Chain A
Amino acid sequence: MSEWIEACSVDDVEEEDLIRFDHGGRTYAIYRSPDDEFYATDGLCTHEQVHLADGLVMDHIIECPKHNGRFDYRTGEAKGAPVCVNLRTYPTRVENGTVFISVE
């Protein structure tokens, strides 16, 4: 069963950046792309358990702050060593300036 939860306001996330969002004992990352779309992934890198929120977003890539592992945050795809496991992604929806993500 998936459930839509309120993650943040659109203004909480700068363009081409991300924020951390914790919910139900899990941590997520919410992204705002340069073309103003919102995306959500797991909040921790799949290499070591490091919060991606401290990392750098360039275009559609989030780079892990610890060892520069890179993921496409739209698909979760790991873009090469040292990360080889993809990030899980979650559907998002924006309503009246609020970002919702769909989690299980």
Chain B
Amino acid sequence: MSTSAIVIAGAGECGTRAAFALREHGYQGAVILIGEEPHFPYERPPLSKSPGAGPKTVADREKFQAAGIEFLSGVCVRTIDRAAREIGLGDGRTIPYHKLLLATGAAPKLFPGMEGARTFRALGDAQAVHGQLAPGRHLVVVGGGFIGLELAAAARIAGADVTVVEAADRLMPRIVPAEIAAIAEAEHRDKGVSLFLGTGVVSATERQVTLSDGRMVEGDLVVAGVGVAPNTALAEAAGLAVDNGIVVDGCFATSDPDIFAAGDCCSFPYRGRNVRLESWRAARDQADHAAAAILGAEELYAAVPWFWSDQYGLTLQVAGLPAPVARTTRRACGNGAFILFEQDADGVLVAASGIGTGNAVAKDIRLAEMLIGKGVPVEADALADPAVNLKKLLRGQE
């Protein structure tokens, strides 16, 4: 029986959730959670939705104490010595482990020439940006993805002027179908956001963006939301397999059976391919699953990806992953809300995306997620008919 601890590197949503899940699964040995950020773990989704709201803490001192979890903050894990089963910290300390979980998340990308722009991922970013969101100020957002658009919405609500520049000819090109992006686009225009679509950015400084057509946009603050890259340096240096994320199996084990990885930093098997998600719920679900696997569970992870974004009063939700699809079916959910269901050639549901006011699409997206999870063919006509309860469809196939 080893006396060393289960060590978790990265105290974001995933690492923190995993620490508590180990306890919930009955593990009584030492658990050490190490986070580079100076704060107690906090939730990221509210940062771009209400940057001024103050941190929403995931776990505080009391919770850590009650669960008997040792939390080291403000220090990074710098090295992994796999032979000695020991990690090295930024302050020179070493900590032995018998199992190690990497939950290092992801970091914002910037393209060459854009280095002057601010990125947006951490509490400090929200605190810095929040002060600039006021009437008379002008926020320039590079990238029409969900973080940039949530920030744009928060800025308009706070009374600031907002310009969004997106290289693709529509918003959220990687995340949702065009028909859904169009609803968000109309809302942003209606709320007074200036949109430059199909417009690349050549360079960006703290206050100025140069567009591909030579025009310049000046503002009080330039924020870039052009995607993230997984934090894999630690894993790579330790010789673990890395390919667009730390490569794991269906139990979140890396190429070293004593080292696991989960959350935004990992690339895991999903329906015959490896994928990497940037999703709050996936970070939590994977933490739970990885914690159980670390303790010996062998069940393979099969959760269906799920994601949401809030912009003004609109919420969009996506279940599954967009793939080449044979058929798209639209279902009206009342008050202009709708869901697009995507089925493969066999009629199996692979993805569903919805948009509407408040939580209008939530229930049917959740049912869609379960239908996707079943992986059996469904009738497109039933999906299209708002009178057909998707729960019945689900049960009919049980």
Q: Which residues of A contact B (CB under 8 A)?
A: 16, 50-51, 54-56, 58, 63, 65-68, 80-82
Contacts and interface: CB of A to CB of B under 8 A. Distances in A.
Interface in B337-395: 358-360, 362-363, 366-367, 391
A54 B359 contact: yes
Instruction: Place the interface of chain B in its size category.
Output: 10 to 19
Main SS class of interface, A: loop
A55 B281 contact: no
B71 interface: no
Given A56-B366, A81-B284, A65 B359 contact: yes
B391 A55 contact: no
B188 interface: no
A94 B358 CA distance: 31
A68 B366 CA distance: 9
Contacts of B363: 54-56, 65
Interface in B229-278: none
B20 interface: yes
A99 to B, nearest CB: 21
Given A56-B366, A56-B367, A81-B17, A66 B359 contact: yes
A66 B281 CA distance: 11
A63 B366 CA distance: 9
Contacts of A81: 17, 20, 284
A68 B281 contact: yes
Nearest to B394: A58
Interface string B291-327: 0000000000000000010000000000000000000
A54 B284 contact: no
A64 to B, nearest CB: 9
Contacts of A54: 358-360, 362-363
Given A16-B391, A68-B281, A68-B366, A51 B359 contact: yes
Contacts of B20: 81
Main SS class of interface, B: helix
Contacts of A58: 391
Nearest to A58: B391
Contact of A82 (B24, B284, B362, B367): B284
Nearest to B43: A82
Contacts of A68: 281, 366
A32 B360 CA distance: 20
Nearest to A50: B359
Given A56-B363, A58-B391, A67-B281, 14 more contacts: A51-B358, A54-B358, A54-B360, A54-B362, A54-B363, A55-B362, A56-B391, A65-B366, A66-B308, A66-B359, A66-B362, A67-B280, A68-B281, A68-B366
A66 B362 CA distance: 7
A4 B107 CA distance: 55
A50 B363 CA distance: 14
A16 B363 CA distance: 13
A54 B359 CA distance: 6
A65 B362 contact: yes
Interface in B147-194: none
Nearest to A84: B63
A50 B359 CA distance: 9
A40 to B, nearest CB: 19
Nearest to A63: B366
Contacts of A51: 358-359
Interface in B18-41: 20, 24
Nearest to B389: A14
A65 B358 CA distance: 10
Contacts of A66: 308, 359, 362
Contacts of A56: 362-363, 366-367, 391
B386 to A, nearest CB: 14
B103 to A, nearest CB: 16
